[in-house]
Structure 1
Amino acid sequence: MSSRALRLLIAGAITLLVVVAASVIIGRATAPSTLAVPGTLSAEAGFARDMQTHHDQAVEMAMIMREQTTNDEIKSLAYDVATSQAQQSGQMFGWLAAWGLPQNSPREAMAWMADSGHTHNTESVGATAGVMPGMATQADIDRLQSLTGEDAEVLFLQLMIAHHRGGVDMAKAVVERSKHQVVTDLAQSIITAQTGEIEYMTSLLAERGVN
């Protein structure tokens, strides 16, 4: 890695740390208080834990992509994904802290969705049965790191579209299960933002001759 690339990566990491720290504070301040505090097995707690993991992978892929392309549109998209999802991840970390709940779940990932009979699609790019929807595999991440230019852009867009679809699925599930407005408000904002980004990324793929 060149010294310039290393400096950019360090600068990006510092920016994300600042965003996350601020978001943890916001999450603590905005954790719902008018209803009973969610329990550790609640949909709210499960969503907060699993969506943090989900978001963290999106941030990882976005940071990789910024180093693998010179395309300004893709760089801007990756930056937006990294900063917005790092902020939201920090906010959810803050909820769990404010609720006095552990960050790690006593159950397997996605159990909070399975409790109500919700099933999720594992057919999308990078998805593997038994894990949360839309997650890329380690092989996907390794391949993304090995590519540059348009090849990297196409794979990134395919992986992130699948990832966003999984995130939207999770957000819709917690909207159906929670009465805590701060939780449903964030989930709805995820649905709106990521649905729009899916449309945008689909158009970027089409520009590259990929349906």
Structure 2
Amino acid sequence: MTPEPGDGGGGERRTRRTQWVAGSAVVLALLFAGAATVASARGDGPDRTGAERITVPSAESADAGFARDMAVHHQQAVEMSFIVRDRTKDEDVRRLAYDIAQTQANQRGMLLGWLDLWELPKVAPEGQRPMGWMSSDGGGHTGHDMAGMPGGGALMPGMATKAELERLNTLDGRRAEVFFLQLMTDHHKGGVAMAEGCAELCAVPAERRLARGMVEAQRSELDLMADMLAARGAKPRP
């Protein structure tokens, strides 16, 4: 920038100062937004009297249990998606697998991040089994028991067994597509039940919102996968 006569470079300095102020405003806005997100995840915020309250879930809470278990559940969905991506050239299946992997990897990072924020372990406390936070004998709600969900031989309902993952790794083409869609259908059904449990039982507002979003998105993908199976002459497993 060429200074005007008599300006002595002052115009350029004013421009730099204006840019610095604008940049500082953006940084401050981002910091405030980040602080609000952290406060929401912690359950912090003013109560009705205007006083600040801090509510950090306990290790045995539904909030912590859902974060731990859904992080494990999501990790397997990401793994299955990467497997089928390399076992088929069908663009629709590959696109679905990519979307599932991206979405659930990001959500898994949020869940683990909350556990770090709450300074809670990423494994269940001694004596608490997986999904215990939502079962009738583990402090949860009997309306969300997981009995009868697919995946009875897996770590959690809806999850594929080790043998099923190994089989998926041996299939190609349409056979891989069908088996992946069947496995992921079971997986999503288990995930929806878990997310519905958190939407009712969790105390942290941000986590309840995430859970409700999971329910909506995975139900939509269940409908899509049913159509994709039908187009391949198959259906979800009983």
Shorter-chain TM-score tier: 0.7 to 0.9
Q: Which has the higher helix share?
A: 1
Alignment-derived partner of residue 119 in structure 1: 145
Matched residue SS, 2:92? helix
What amino acid does structure 2 have at the position aligned with 1:31?
A: A
What amino acid does structure 1 have at the position aligned with 2:156?
A: M
Aligned-pair CA distance for 1:123: 4.9
1:90 aligns with one of 91, 97, 109: 109
**Residue 141, structure 1, aligned to residue 160, structure 2:** no
**Residue 58, structure 1, aligned to residue 77, structure 2:** yes
1:76 aligns with one of 95, 117, 133: 95
Residue 123 to residue 113, structure 1, CA distance change in 2 (3 Å):
closer
**Residue 47, structure 1, aligned to residue 73, structure 2:** no
Structure 1 contact 31–94 (Cα < 8 Å) conserved = no
1:150 aligns with one of 132, 156, 174: 174
Larger Rg: 2
Aligned-pair CA distance for 1:153: 0.3
Alignment-derived partner of residue 199 in structure 2: 175
Residue 62 to residue 130, structure 1, CA distance change in 2 (3 Å):
closer
Query: Which structure carries more relative contact order (alpha carbon 8 Å, separation 6+)?
Result: 1
Matched residue SS, 2:57? coil
Identity of aligned residues (%): 43
Q: Deviations over 1:104-147 (max 9, x none)?
A: 111211110112333114453xx025742201000110000000
**Residue 31, structure 1, aligned to residue 50, structure 2:** no
Q: Deviations over 1:66-123 (max 9, x none)?
A: 0000000000000000010000000000000000111111121111011233311445
Alignment-derived partner of residue 130 in structure 2: 109
**Larger deviation, residues 42-51 vs 98-107:** 98-107
Q: Which runs of 5+ in 2 are unaligned?
A: 1-33, 46-53
Counterpart-to-counterpart distance in 2, 1:153 and 1:57: 17
Normalising to structure 1: TM-score of the pair?
0.83
Normalising to structure 2: TM-score of the pair?
0.73
Aligned-pair CA distance for 1:172: 0.2
Aligned residues: 184
Q: Which runs of 5+ in 1 are unaligned?
A: 1-24
Structure 2 contact 68–122 (Cα < 8 Å) conserved = yes
Aligned-pair CA distance for 1:36: 1.1
Alignment of 1:15-30 (within 5 A): 29=38
